[in-house]
Structure 1
Amino acid sequence: MFAVIKTGGKQYRVAAEDVVTIEKLEAAPGETVTFGEVLMVGNEIGTPFVAGASVTGIVVEQTRGDKTIAFVKRRRKSWKRKKGHRQELTVVRITGIAAA
């Protein structure tokens, strides 16, 4: 059975024992997290969320994504800017999907 959850402004399709990398959550490695915003469980689609459904997982690690470079140059002006960004991420192992 699979579920579609919403977290960090994005949607993820997860199943039991999946390892997903999501936007940073305030949780230490080893803590249990529960996702209550479940959009779909199996064939049941919520409006907008499935009532009583939840997905639980264990935080594996807190990490950072690859560096992305934003480089801006204005030609013939001797003007350029280079900015780097690394997104804070959380790796979660899904342990269970509970339907209503």
Structure 2
Amino acid sequence: MYAVIKTGGKQYRVQPGDLLVVEKLDGEPGADVAFGDVLMVGDGDSVTLGAPLVDGASVSATLIETRKGEKVKIFKKIRRQGYRRTRGHRQLESVLRVTAVAGAGKTDKWDGEVDLTPKAVLDARARNLKLAEPAPVEAKPAKAAPKKAAAPKAEADEAPAAEAKTAAPKKAAAPKAEAGEKKAAPKKAAAKKESDAE
């Protein structure tokens, strides 16, 4: 038997024995919690829909712990203004164990006991976090590009390169002026001297 309940602005499908994480509820660990907002009750093929709630239906649970959830990062930025702000937030949440679902003239109870020892709480947290994480996506290995025969191409490339090296003559270094020789005067300076002489 299962039910769809509404709490904390969200809807959850629950059945006896389920571990459930909801928005923070008041109470100490071990306290009993009852949900009266039951939207649907199902038992095998028979389904009872509420309009909006199912009359006489309820879900009972035991509060295991109240804790902080995963951190959510808040990042604000205004471009070109040098404005950046990073904040973090951890929402308070309650972990529940569903013990009974009642509705449509039937009651389905969970046979086990709710263990509130620290080890059991940590186990419940670990199981719950595994359920909350998305399924891992298997990475497909990248296809290797087919290799072409490199030997013939290498021989073809080496021959022209070798010819180019032998064929290209080296540039002759410009002769340097000896210490006793004067450098040629620039044309403007020569023209100026001629005009001064006249």
Which TM-score band (shorter chain)?
over 0.9
In structure 2, C-alpha distance between the alignment counterparts of 1:90 and 1:98, rounded to whole Å: 22
1:81 maps to 85
Within-5 A mapping of 1:53-72: 53-72=57-76
The one-letter code of the counterpart of 2:62 is: I
Distance (whole Å) between structure 1 residues aligned to residue 15 and residue 90 of structure 2: 28
Q: Structure 1 counterpart of 2:100, which letter?
A: G
Give the CA RMSD over aligned residues.
0.8
Shift of 1:56: 0.1
The structure whose residues are more often helix, as a share, is 2
How many corresponding residue pairs? 100
Q: CA deviation at 1:27?
A: 1.1
- List runs of 5+ in structure 1 lacking aligned partners: none
Of the two, which has the highest radius of gyration?
A: 2
Q: CA deviation at 1:80?
A: 1.1
TM-score, length of structure 2 as denominator length: 0.50
Higher relative CO (Cα under 8 Å, sequence separation at least 6) belongs to: 1
TM superposition outliers: structure 1 runs of 4+ over 4 Å = none
Separation in structure 2 between the aligned mates of residue 74 and residue 9 of structure 1, nearest angstrom: 32
Q: Unpaired runs of 5+ in structure 2?
A: 106-198
Aligned to 1:18: 18
TM-score scaled by length of structure 1: 0.97
1:6-64 deviations in whole A, cap 9, x for unaligned? 00000000000000000000011000000000000101000000001000000011111
